[in-house]
Amino acid sequence: MQSGYDAVIVGSGVNSLACAVQLGTKGWRVGVFEQAEATGGAVKTLELTEPGFRHDWAAMNLSLFAGSGFFKQHGEALSANGLEFAPASHCFASVFEDGKWLGVSTGDGETRARIAAFSEADARAWDRLCKEFPETAEHVFALLGSPMQTHVLLKLLARALYKKGVAWTAGLVRLLISSPRSFLSETFESDHVRATLAAWGMHLDFAPDLGGGAVFPYLEAMANQNFGMVIGKGGADTVTRALVTQIEASGGEVHCGRKVSRVIREGARATGIELADGTRVSAAKAVIANVAPRGMMKLLEGGSGNSGFDAKMTKFVHAPGTMMIHLALDGLPDWSASDELRSFAYVHIAPSLDQMARTYQQAVAGMLPDEPVLVVGQPTAIDPSRAPDGKHVLWVQVRMVPARIRGDAAGKITQTDWAEVKEIYTERALDIIETHAPGLRGKIISRAVVSPLDLQADNPNLVGGDQIAGSHHLSQNFLFRPAFGHATGKTPIERLHLTGASVWPGAGTGAGAGYMLAQKLGGK
């Protein structure tokens, strides 16, 4: 058996790499083993279409990473290792069927003026939210940055009650459990404003009427208004490359193209891993699995020995899938609503709460949505270095779609195999974009389409193309992510730990699960 590691980590997503960096600062030698040929999991950048056109495979927005506790501690070293952000002051916008649009930017009074064009009452509501945000953010970010344990929750609750009182604390709890529709309908009167913010719920798996989803549109709106957005200079892989460099500088190693087949145990203790080629690697202190819960069970031959834990992992629920369309372009889209839209990092095509709700239900039912929600990312509007001079890349996320196709809600597509459907369905998405940006097809140099099953094949954590590694509905969030008693990554097997987006605090590039686990194992 190969030896020499204090910890081995299965998978090289951002949580894995952050965990390895933090443990390395505590003197641990860490080995990271990744089945794919490139590190990063969903956070990587590839020339998917033509040479010189760099496309973010899945994740594009790095704001959570830039604002994380992990980056606060390690940002200086990561920057020295080549990490560089490209800031966006025009963060996100939505376009509507009536030719209007609304966008959130950081400029003084800019967003307020756009909202006021729809409703002065909504502009005043926006003012109120912005004024209250610093105090609200203090408590929400404390929650998101803390281990999810009962005593920690009680401490945070007691702090809020002491500082702000019962009524304010009850209001915060209500926000955390509300649906996007209820929060947005109570706060704003304009359907355009409501839809613009509700689109962020669809980045996770929160259709407008699902409880627990209000906080995400709220946080994205307020954070983007106050801080802006960042993407990776040259590509999202600026993060993963810097992390790998730092791991290696501390004596760790990252191995790609090395699939892990099982966790090795001696009695009730995890002692290492076995690779698909039969190589056995020992770990003196910890085995850390950045895998989806069902993936964990595949590594545990015969189960964990705890039937309750095994059942919870097996029943872990995944969100509907996504499809990615990567375009190499001669020029940015010509948005008919306004030329200003060409400067935004994201343009959402999600025209109403009812449309978003319908799309979600169609995908859950196994139907190809007749009108999918589209997240149109324009990274080269923020960072021209991702494409040759004068050229651009477009990053289009199609939300939501089913992993297993049972039919087409529009009644037009008869095929059910994603290998065939992905190119056909791309035409539906492009038709929708062309409605708001005529002539887009004429600018396409090349395209690459990634189906939900392609995403899963590259990264088994993205089950069925679920880019958030598991539903965030209330029954599977907070103390229940991935299951009650295991939100810190604890497993019934000594020295075996679970991390990644399936563990609290969940999806995104904030690296919270990996960072907090490393603090628990190696100290802060």
Alpha helices, H only, 81-179: 110-116, 120-144, 150-164, 166-177
The pLDDT score that the predictor gives to residue 277 is: 96
The pLDDT score that the predictor gives to residue 350 is: 98
The pLDDT score that the predictor gives to residue 523 is: 78
Pick from 292, 296, 339, 312: which is nearest to 103 by CA? 339
Q: Residue 1: pLDDT above 90?
A: no
Q: Residue 179: pLDDT above 80?
A: yes
Residues of the chain with pLDDT > 70, as a percent, come to: 99
The pLDDT score that the predictor gives to residue 206 is: 97
Say which CATH topology domain 318-458 has.
Polyamine Oxidase; Chain A, domain 2 (3.90.660)
Pick from 373, 376, 374, 377: which is nearest to 357 by CA? 373
**pLDDT per position as a tens digit, 378-420:** 999 999 999 999 999 999 999 999 999 999 999 999 999 999 9
Q: How confident is the model at residue 2 (pLDDT cuts 50, 70, 90)?
A: low
Q: Residue ranges per domain, the chain?
A: 2-85+235-316+461-522, 109-226, 318-458
**pLDDT per position as a tens digit, 78-132:** 999 999 999 999 999 999 999 999 999 999 899 999 999 999 999 999 999 999 9
Per the prediction, the chain carries an average pLDDT of: 97
Amino acid identity, residue 119? Answer: S
The pLDDT score that the predictor gives to residue 304 is: 95
Q: Residue 4: pLDDT above 90?
A: no
Q: Which long-range contacts (CB under 8 A, 24 or more apart) does 189-192 make?
A: 189/119, 189/121, 189/122, 190/115, 190/118, 190/119, 190/122, 191/352, 191/353, 192/94, 192/96, 192/100, 192/102, 192/118
Residues 6+ apart with CB under 8 A from 180: 197, 198, 201, 206, 207, 208, 209, 210, 213, 214, 216, 217, 353
pLDDT average, residue stretch 15-21: 98
Rounded alpha-carbon distances, angstroms, from residue 253 to 17, 30, 190, 324, 519 = 10, 6, 53, 31, 20
pLDDT average, residue stretch 148-155: 95
Tokens of 418: 């994603």
Q: How far apart are CA 136 and CA 139, in angstroms?
A: 6
Q: How far apart are CA 306 and CA 288, in angstroms?
A: 18
Q: How confident is the model at residue 250 (pLDDT cuts 50, 70, 90)?
A: very high
Alpha helices, H only, 209-329: 215-227, 237-249, 293-299, 307-314
**pLDDT per position as a tens digit, 498-513:** 999 999 999 999 999 9
**pLDDT per position as a tens digit, 464-473:** 999 999 999 9
Model pTM? 0.96
How many other C-beta atoms are found inside a 10 Å radius of the C-beta of residue 330? 11
Is the link from the previous residue into 320 a cis peptide, with omega within 30 of 0? no
Tokens of 443: 């600018």
Residues 6+ apart with CB under 8 A from 72: none
Say which residue the tokens 């993205």 belong to: 462
Residues 6+ apart with CB under 8 A from 293: 312, 313, 314, 316, 470, 482, 483, 498, 502
Instruction: Convert 439-465 to b/e letters by CB count within 10 Å (16 or more is b).
Output: ebeebebebbbbbbbbbbebbbbbbbb
Q: Classify residue 501 by its DSSP letter.
A: T
φ, ψ at 135 (rounded to 5°) = -70, -40
Q: How far apart are CA 135 and CA 156, in angstroms?
A: 14
CATH architecture of 2-85+235-316+461-522: 3-Layer(bba) Sandwich (3.50)
How many other C-beta atoms are found inside a 10 Å radius of the C-beta of residue 475? 12
CA atoms within 13 A on the CB side of 491: 30
The pLDDT score that the predictor gives to residue 444 is: 98
